[in-house]
A and B are shown apart, each in its own frame.
Chain A
Amino acid sequence: MSLSMPEVKRIAWLARIEISDAEAAAAQGQLNDIFKLIEQMQSVDTEGVEPMAHGQDVVQRLREDRVTEIDQHALYQSIAPQVENGLYLVPKVIE
């Protein structure tokens, strides 16, 4: 499997990465190298091996349902570009 130029641009758009034609061409080569590596891995016989969802073979530790956080919004908002009435302000987006 290899990626076409439009596919590379679409992936960049989905990830909100601005990419020039030259950069896209370079990324296409790199991505295709990665796909080659994946192809090589896929040729390994994994018959009977259960897929893992995580690199570490351990399970999730659970947290007790208790409120442990205090209100620190003033501190967090001190680094926000724009704030009003406790709200973070962002350029208008309406879906």
Chain B
Amino acid sequence: MDWETVIGIETHAQLSTASKIFSGAATQFGAAPNVQACAVDIALPGVLPVLNQGAVERAIRFGLAVGADINRRSVFARKNYFYPDLPKGYQISQYELPVVQGGSLTVVLEEGVKTVRLTRAHLEEDAGKSLHEDFHGMSGIDLNRAGTPLLEIVTEPDMRSAEEAVAYARALHALVRWIGICDGNMQEGSFRCDANVSVRPKGAEALGTRSEIKNLNSFRFMEEAINYEVRRQIELLEDGGTVVQETRLYDPDRKETRSMRSKEDAHDYRYFPDPDLLPLAISAETIESIRSGLPELPQAKRDRYIRDHQLSAYDAGVLTSSREVADFYEDVISALGGGYKLAATWITGELFGALKRAGLEISQSPLGSRQLAGLLQQLQDKVVNGKGAKEVFDAMWNGEGEATAIIAAKGLKQISDAGELEQVIDGVLVANPKSVEEYRAGKEKAFNALVGQAMKATRGKGNPAQINEILKKKLAG
């Protein structure tokens, strides 16, 4: 039987506020245990939550970026369960009226563009952390993370393969960083995805029973886990079994998903509106002021690069994969006063190659956008040729200074003096009578050999276009 995979994704994005969602404690990662857990976070009796404006603004920012409705009135609810890292015995979340409703995200796939619909995005607080080792049979509780603001972003079951799910997660990851609401650090848990996975016979309307896979803290694990889970469910169904609705954990070492033992009625959260918090009202003015502060979004930028800069869809996609990359590109073209294709080629080629080899992000590049623009200017002005420019690039990467200085120091200035080049070419023609003969006999390849010899004679500094031209003229004459 042919099966169809159906995937929905839930993401917890930690909002990049300085303080917690309901208290004035700090949210910095990596602090000593419990030094950032105040009376509200540890739920001492008598404390009251006060909502952080910064968290609300970030949620609205997200909603506007995905074209969602911002609920003018939204409500906080208590989600009740017992666990030691949740000191109140409930998590403050949103249930019936989330801040953000609807919206969609466009994902670029190899075979084209796909739109993933969003169901909602709501504000909630994170729980603390439990450490189960080394406490003589007890668990250690660190409540620094308790009360950290999260935006839970839920999609419709719109994805049909692990590749699509990962493409969505990557696009979402890029977007939340792009609009500055989340640092996206997956190792530190700032961006966590769960995948709801089910399969159904191809052509069927009804959804199959789904399992929820947790612990997907990298895009690679997400892809592996979904593929494993799809295979598991299909095998189970083809053997006449049934899929049980459950939560499963991905084990990256064994590359498999495992059922998380959970009590049968653990999911009775008994949501109800939190009496400690009044409804959140968002004014039209607030929404408009946040809208006007939004940067140009990745999709708009991508379209603009294709339309106005005549870049390929691929280059435009790569250059808008993160805001840092787009900013770098725009810095270069603004310093160059154009040179779109040239800048795109050097950034996606030479620069990305060097960054990848060094294991660096663009923000850590030893070579700044102005430096690269300086080099491309020399290339554009034909001061240096492509081969020399690569040498200059390597030297700049190694911290040897600006392009003009390197070109002078290394004697890489392109030879564009016609007289000098003619002299060189005359020498080449004399020294390579065989190639000349072959070319005249109609062998095109011989021409390239002569160009190579001429480049060699100028120690790589000859202007290739000029060499071609002079050589053609001389061979014809």
* A interface, CB within 8 angstroms of B: 10, 14, 16, 53-56, 58-69, 71-73, 76-77, 82, 84-95
Cβ-neighbour of B280 out of A60, A82, A89 (below 8 A): A60
- Judged by a CB distance under 8 angstroms, whether B165 is at the interface is no
Residues in chain B near residue A84, CB distance under 8 A: 135, 140
Q: Is the CB of B278 within 8 A of A62?
A: no
Q: Is the CB of B275 within 8 A of A54?
A: yes
Residues in chain A near residue B139, CB distance under 8 A: 89-94
Contacts A62-B50, A73-B33, A86-B34 supplied; 13 other A-B pairs, CB < 8 Å: A14-B270, A53-B75, A59-B73, A62-B53, A71-B36, A72-B39, A87-B140, A88-B84, A89-B135, A89-B138, A89-B141, A90-B84, A91-B139
B436 to chain A, nearest CB (A): 76
Q: Is the CB of B37 within 8 A of A73?
A: yes
Residues in chain B near residue A53, CB distance under 8 A: 75, 97, 273, 278-279
Residues in chain A near residue B32, CB distance under 8 A: 86
In the complex, the number of residue pairs spanning A and B with C-beta atoms less than 8 Å apart equals 131
CB-CB nearest in chain B for A60 = B278
Q: Is the CB of B55 within 8 A of A93?
A: no
Residues in chain A near residue B138, CB distance under 8 A: 82, 89-92
Task: Enumerate B114-150 residues with CB–CB distance to A below 8 Å.
Answer: 130-132, 135, 137-143
Q: Please report the C-alpha to C-alpha distance between residue A68 and residue B24 in the assembled complex, in whole angstroms.
A: 5
Q: Is the CB of A68 within 8 A of B19?
A: yes
Residues in chain B near residue A63, CB distance under 8 A: 19, 24, 50-53
Q: Please report the C-alpha to C-alpha distance between residue A77 and residue B278 in the assembled complex, in whole angstroms.
A: 31
Q: Please report the C-alpha to C-alpha distance between residue A95 and residue B82 in the assembled complex, in whole angstroms.
A: 11
Residues in chain B near residue A93, CB distance under 8 A: 83-84, 130, 139
* B interface, CB within 8 angstroms of A: 17-19, 23-26, 32-39, 42, 44, 50-56, 73, 75, 80, 82-84, 97, 130-132, 135, 137-143, 260-262, 265, 268, 270, 273, 275, 277-281
Q: Is the CB of A88 within 8 A of B50?
A: no
Q: Is the CB of B52 within 8 A of A65?
A: yes
Cβ-neighbour of B131 out of A54, A71, A87, A95 (below 8 A): A87
Residues in chain B near residue A89, CB distance under 8 A: 135, 138-141
Q: Is the CB of A56 within 8 A of B25?
A: no
Q: Is the CB of B18 within 8 A of A65?
A: yes
Q: Is the CB of B35 within 8 A of A62?
A: no
Cβ-neighbour of A87 out of B33, B82, B83 (below 8 A): B33
Cβ-neighbour of A76 out of B44, B80, B130, B261 (below 8 A): B44
Residues in chain A near residue B18, CB distance under 8 A: 65-67
Residues in chain B near residue A62, CB distance under 8 A: 50-53, 56
CB-CB nearest in chain B for A15 = B80
CB-CB nearest in chain B for A86 = B33
Residues in chain A near residue B33, CB distance under 8 A: 73, 85-87
Q: Is the CB of A94 within 8 A of B19?
A: no
Q: Please report the C-alpha to C-alpha distance between residue A53 and residue B279 in the assembled complex, in whole angstroms.
A: 7
A67 to chain B, nearest CB (A): 5
Give the most central of A68, A82, A88, A91: most B CB within 10 Å. Answer: A88
Q: Please report the C-alpha to C-alpha distance between residue A68 and residue B19 in the assembled complex, in whole angstroms.
A: 8
Residues in chain B near residue A54, CB distance under 8 A: 273, 275, 277-279
A81 to chain B, nearest CB (A): 10
Q: Please report the C-alpha to C-alpha distance between residue A58 and residue B141 in the assembled complex, in whole angstroms.
A: 37
